[in-house]
Amino acid sequence: MSLARTLATDDFRSELFERGLLIPTTVDGLYGRNEVFEGIVAAVDALIGRLSAADGAEIMRFPPVMTRQGFEASGYFKNFPHLSGTIHCFCGDDRDHRRALECAPEQGGWTSAQVASDVVLTPASCYPVYPIVAARGPLPAEGWLVDSSSYCFRREPSLDPARMQMFRQREQVCFGTPERIRAFQSHWMQRALAMFEQMRLPAATDLANDPFFGRPGELMANGQRSQRLKFEILLPVSDPDRPSACGSFNYHVQHFATAYGIHDAAGEVAHTGCAGFGLERIALALLRHHGLDPQDWPAAVRGVLWPAS
Amino acid sequence: MSLARTLATDDFRSELFERGLLIPTTVDGLYGRNEVFEGIVAAVDALIGRLSAADGAEIMRFPPVMTRQGFEASGYFKNFPHLSGTIHCFCGDDRDHRRALECAPEQGGWTSAQVASDVVLTPASCYPVYPIVAARGPLPAEGWLVDSSSYCFRREPSLDPARMQMFRQREQVCFGTPERIRAFQSHWMQRALAMFEQMRLPAATDLANDPFFGRPGELMANGQRSQRLKFEILLPVSDPDRPSACGSFNYHVQHFATAYGIHDAAGEVAHTGCAGFGLERIALALLRHHGLDPQDWPAAVRGVLWPAS
């Protein structure tokens, strides 16, 4: 990264802090949010809701924690070990507690007695959906559609405000035939591009090759590209030369349905896809492009985000 | 607990699942939420917002994770080891990763290589506030007021839907003189009682003695009671005979200000207090008392929660 790029990223971050939009902590990528920032996130979230209101999706909202069982089935730790966050708890008695409190930092300190629990942090808001849909038995003949949202965790401390350790994702998750998933994927791509145009954000699409099915990557990545399984919509946020993925439109083929045991009405392994948006990143893109005070944004952009006011 | 009570709790839980208001997972106390449930939570949250709109509080919203440094300063693990959740990550190389994946379950399985990170789950939504206020230097002469909200984690798996492992808390956090905190505490008690009356919920107050400053408890608990530091508002939720704390109104004296180094304008250690509401518990109390379909709730209750509609 060139010095100019670094400075641009640092300037944007400092401005966000100075305005109080993000509130720094002592950990990079972990921030509080003020009322203005939350108002933008809520407006973007509501806009996505209006776009999809007629789809008849089942609304599911999740806390930022999911079952370890569901996480294991996804293969996430196998593919993204460094991004995973597991939750550990204390199961000892009073004596163990005293020992933990007295444990020297170089021996692990007070966390030395923590043991892995049956819950983990959610890496993407669609992950808790699969075990729930699987547990209901075969899909209806026409398939199924879920609208999910949660805070998500990815362990990648960064000075780039667009790369947070905790951020919100709003996703649509589609279950059904390959035809349905392909149509869903392409419909959401078009919707998202139109949405970013309405927000006057310079969106670009990219056929992504990051290996979301598996890490031992090249072959799979090439397969993904040629099969057009993963598209992203990129917006310049912190660094004009390195746009950030703000939307992701994926056809999983039978990867998740096999992992969780999701079957169609005929008993065949189903196909799945998802269309997800990073709410903080879109809020940051708006702030970057239209200025740090939403009151000063173009009337057309404000009208799209706050239609009633 | 008598059999009758257990049955009542189980029935309520089953009804919530059947209606889809809460979506079960394989972990007790961890649920998805449907649109209706989220609508109730949002309405309660907005009602608290209207009650406090004129107070001039600084709005802070947080992800459900806070810095380990801030968590350690609070003394939470010392007082509530079994409720704490620490976040552990993988810091190894490819070889460590392969070894973790191959590790036998009885040796800790794939989580065996996880190490404690610099972030932990937030136990109460006011905890991330203190280090932020401390970092700004001395308080203004009149003190300060923050309105905080986040998902919180407490490790207490339970079949009682009112005892979740992840739930949302909306809190007001007050900084200033003992007089200001006492007035704040009593003002919020009155406000909360009036709010529950408007919602036609049978609220009772209790002078609480759970040792929120420290575990080695009796003496401190007695001190708390006689100093009237901690009040709770209780509502019957799952078990009519064992009401749940839905609001908590606390005067911390100088406990948190000492722990975090928060000083008043004259350089003295400040006093703090908080007034917090458990949003899921209030939503559950409404469902318990007025029925599982908000459309059928008394018009007066609907009018308080959804004044515009």
**Are A166 and A152 spatial neighbours (Cβ–Cβ below 8 Å)?**
yes
Nearest to B124 by CA among B82, B37, B78, B66: B66
Per-residue pLDDT, B9: 72
Q: In this predicted model, what pLDDT tens digit does every residue of B223-242 receive, in sequence order?
A: 655 677 999 999 999 988 89
Contact call for B33 and A61, based on CB within 8 A: yes
Does A231 score more than 80 pLDDT?
yes
Q: In this predicted model, what pLDDT tens digit does every residue of B146-183 receive, in sequence order?
A: 999 999 999 999 999 999 999 999 999 999 999 999 99
Give B64→chain A minimum CA distance, Å: 7
Contact call for B77 and A90, based on CB within 8 A: yes
Using CB atoms within 10 A of its CB, is residue A309 exposed (0-12), middle (13-18) or buried (19+)? exposed
CA-based nearest residue in chain B for residue A60: B34
Interface probe for A, chosen from B21, B23, B144 (most Cβ of A below 10 Å), is B23
Interface probe for A, chosen from B82, B103, B114, B136 (most Cβ of A below 10 Å), is B114
| Locus of tokens 């065949």 | A268
Contact call for A88 and B116, based on CB within 8 A: yes
Query: In chain B, what residues touch A117 (CB-CB under 8 Å)?
Result: 85, 155
**Are A175 and A145 spatial neighbours (Cβ–Cβ below 8 Å)?**
yes
More confident residue, A134 or B213: A134
CA-based nearest residue in chain A for residue B114: A86
Q: Percent of chain B, pLDDT > 70?
A: 92
Query: In chain A, what residues touch B131 (CB-CB under 8 Å)?
Result: 25-26
CA-based nearest residue in chain A for residue B33: A61
Beta-sheet strands, E only, within A158-253 = 166-176, 204-207, 230-235, 244-253
More confident residue, B1 or A204: A204
> CA-CA distance, B164 to A141, in Å (whole number)?
35
The H or E element spanning position B176 is strand B166-176
Does B1 score more than 80 pLDDT?
no
CA-based nearest residue in chain A for residue B116: A111
Q: In this predicted model, what pLDDT tens digit does every residue of B86-144 receive, in sequence order?
A: 999 999 999 999 999 999 999 989 999 999 999 999 999 999 999 999 999 999 999 99
**Residue B208: which pLDDT band, with cuts at 50, 70 and 90?**
confident
Per-residue pLDDT, B209: 66
Q: Which residues pair with B149 in a beta bridge?
A: B61, B170
Contact call for B67 and A114, based on CB within 8 A: no
Does B218 score more than 50 pLDDT?
no
Query: CATH classification of A3-84+123-305, choosing from 3.40.50.2300, 3.30.930.10, 3.40.190.10, 3.40.50.1970?
Result: 3.30.930.10
Nearest to B245 by CA among B218, B199, B277: B277
Does B217 score more than 80 pLDDT?
no
Query: In chain B, what residues touch A23 (CB-CB under 8 Å)?
Result: 60, 132
**Residue B10: which pLDDT band, with cuts at 50, 70 and 90?**
confident
CA-based nearest residue in chain A for residue B157: A118
Per-residue pLDDT, A95: 96
Nearest to A214 by CA among A22, A47, A78: A78
Rounded to the nearest integer, the mean pLDDT of chain A is: 93
| Span B259-264, average pLDDT | 97
Rg, Å, chain A Cα set:
21
Q: In this predicted model, what pLDDT tens digit does every residue of A21-66 receive, in sequence order?
A: 999 999 999 999 999 999 999 999 999 999 999 999 999 999 999 9
Query: In chain B, what residues touch A283 (CB-CB under 8 Å)?
Result: none
Nearest to B164 by CA among B60, B287, B13: B13
Q: In this predicted model, what pLDDT tens digit does every residue of A69-102 receive, in sequence order?
A: 999 999 999 999 999 999 999 999 999 999 999 9
| Span A210-222, average pLDDT | 51
Per-residue pLDDT, A1: 38
**Residue A308: which pLDDT band, with cuts at 50, 70 and 90?**
confident
Location of each CATH 3.30.930.10 domain in chain B: 3-84+123-305
| Span B21-37, average pLDDT | 98
Does A285 score more than 80 pLDDT?
yes
Nearest to A89 among B35, B69, B155 (CB): B155
Q: Can you tell me whether residue B6 is helix, strand or coil?
A: helix
Contact call for A67 and B26, based on CB within 8 A: yes
Per-residue pLDDT, A219: 45
Give A111→chain B minimum CA distance, Å: 7
Give B3→chain A minimum CA distance, Å: 28
Query: In chain A, what residues touch B65 (CB-CB under 8 Å)?
Result: 30, 64, 121, 153, 165-166
Give A22→chain B minimum CA distance, Å: 9
Interface probe for B, chosen from A25, A31, A120 (most Cβ of B below 10 Å), is A25
Interface probe for A, chosen from B27, B38, B66, B136 (most Cβ of A below 10 Å), is B27
- Distances in whole angstroms, Cα of residue B288 to Cα of each of A254, B113, B237, B291: 41, 44, 6, 6
Does B24 score more than 70 pLDDT?
yes
Give B111→chain A minimum CA distance, Å: 7
Q: Which two tokens stand for residue B268?
A: 């003295």
The H or E element spanning position B249 is strand B244-253
Query: In chain B, what residues touch A109 (CB-CB under 8 Å)?
Result: 116
Contact call for B92 and A108, based on CB within 8 A: no
Contact call for B78 and A100, based on CB within 8 A: no
